[in-house]
Amino acid sequence: MTVTRFAPSPTGLLHIGNVRTALHNWMLARKDGGRFLLRIDDTDTARSREDYVAAIRADLDWLGLRPDGEVRQSERFDLYEREFARLVAAGRVYRCYESAQELELKRKVQLGRGLPPIYDRAALALGEADHAAKAAAGEMPHWRFLLDRDAAIAWDDGIRGAQRFDAAQMSDPVVRRADGSWLYMLPSVIDDIDMGITQVLRGEDHVSNTATQLQMFTALGAEPPRFAHEALLTGSEGKLSKRLGSLGMAELREQGIEPEAVIALLARLGTSDPVDPALRPMELAAALDLTRFGRAPARFDEAELQRVNAAVIHRLSHDEVAARLPDGMGAAAWQAIRPNLSTVGEAAEWWAVVRGPVAAPVMNSEDHEYLKIAANVFEQIDWDLPEARNESWKFLTANLKETTGRKGKALFLPLRLALTGREHGPDMAALLPLIGRDEALARLAGVRAAA
């Protein structure tokens, strides 16, 4: 069974890049009937906040990416301690004492000598007496994972293909701080083992982390999951913008963006597959193919999201949006107005046009006289007959074309302006029966002539 995970830190709100990662992991799991798990990486107790945890859950729920299980790292410290003790006993983690300033000086010396700026493992030369002396002096160690520099690090990445790293050119990573708190690398591996994660899909900024973590899996006697690293998002201006890095789901909701639009766009962003607003999330998951992901940065454009959102809305049924529509706006009104909407919230504006009142426009003398004729023609329609009512616009315009000789814009625009107060909008054939006979007559008769 495929088991994936999404592991956000609750130190801020989810942004569009986080959501893309969550979505692709959800899709991987759903494609194979597997499990999608949420792991809250809240080991940073100083910066983690419960309101961010709640917001992460709410955002995933809004998007329909509901996890099959959830764990929190802050509740798993006993597990980390046990596995850490195993690594200590096996000699795969070791104590170090250098300050940040000392490490920076070492790096500069190495670079000056033309050497790779990696940790020199000086702490491995310390004996127990040295450690005891440092402890007596109040110095607390941080801990590094001891890489096997003789072992080849290689894997077949699900997106990037064959990957190879030289452990001899890598620094032993710090896995635990002097205050006992954990860095990301080791707890993540321990969790992946314990949670039975079979597939890790994350951003390409984690590629070097994967190289290190593969040795951690081996040190803990576990088979590593499959790894895939997708290209990061960039903005429409061609680089990762501060705006994009902070674009959250709450903001998109305020803009009237539908969750289906977010899913439709992000599911295919960075792949060779076209964005298709007609596909449902499970259909997108079934068609997921990591080999179709590109290596180039994936470009996110808010204008494209708006276009996809409009396409999604134009497919929504009345039942799907009824709770968000103005009182009294039924299925016929939704069908009439829907093609002109970019957000569901705009329906209220058009419903107000239907219900009225509409400000009476000022027309030139020719159009004013034309609308008087239109009112007389309109009065001939037997509104009690459904077929006549539903064909009222066709009847009105056909008769006016014959009696006045008008056509095109001269025929239609004055009528639209009088009946809606606008030059553009929904199909008048669908809108006019909604406006109703008496209100339509009042609007046609209420047009003012220019002085």
Per-residue model confidence as pLDDT tens digits over 97-144: 999 999 999 999 999 998 889 999 999 999 999 999 999 999 999 999
What's the pLDDT band for 451 if we cut at 50, 70, 90?
confident
Please calculate the CA angle 373-377-381 and round it to the nearest 5 degrees. Answer: 160
Average the pLDDT over 201-229 and give the result: 97
Closest residue by Cα to residue 183 from 192, 175, 191: 175
- Cα 258 to Cα 16, 152, 411, 415: the distances in Å are 14, 47, 37, 34
Residue 360 has a pLDDT of 87
What's the pLDDT band for 242 if we cut at 50, 70, 90?
low
How far out from the chain centre does Cα 53 lie? 17
Please calculate the CA angle 125-131-134 and round it to the nearest 5 degrees. Answer: 120
Average the pLDDT over 40-67 and give the result: 96
- Cα 325 to Cα 61, 62, 79, 253, 348: the distances in Å are 22, 19, 50, 16, 7
Residue 239 has a pLDDT of 58
> In this predicted model, which residue has the larger pLDDT, 77 or 236?
77
Give domain 1-69+231-315's CATH number out of 3.30.1370.60, 1.10.3210.50, 3.40.50.620, 3.40.50.300: 3.40.50.620
What's the pLDDT band for 243 if we cut at 50, 70, 90?
low
Q: What is the pTM of this model?
A: 0.91
Is the fold of 81-176 the same as that of 356-449? Answer: no
Domain spans of the chain, in order of start: 1-69+231-315, 81-176, 318-354, 356-449
DSSP state of 381: S
CATH annotation of 356-449: 1.10.10.350
Distance CA 196, CA 186 (A): 16
Closest residue by Cα to residue 426 from 362, 357, 337: 337
Distance CA 246, CA 214 (A): 31
Q: Please name the residue that has the structure tokens 């709640």.
A: 54
pLDDT tens profile 195-212 = 999 999 999 999 999 999
Q: What's the one-letter identity of residue 152?
A: A
Distance CA 62, CA 256 (A): 13
Average the pLDDT over 414-443 and give the result: 95
Task: Assign domain 81-176 to a CATH class.
Answer: alpha beta
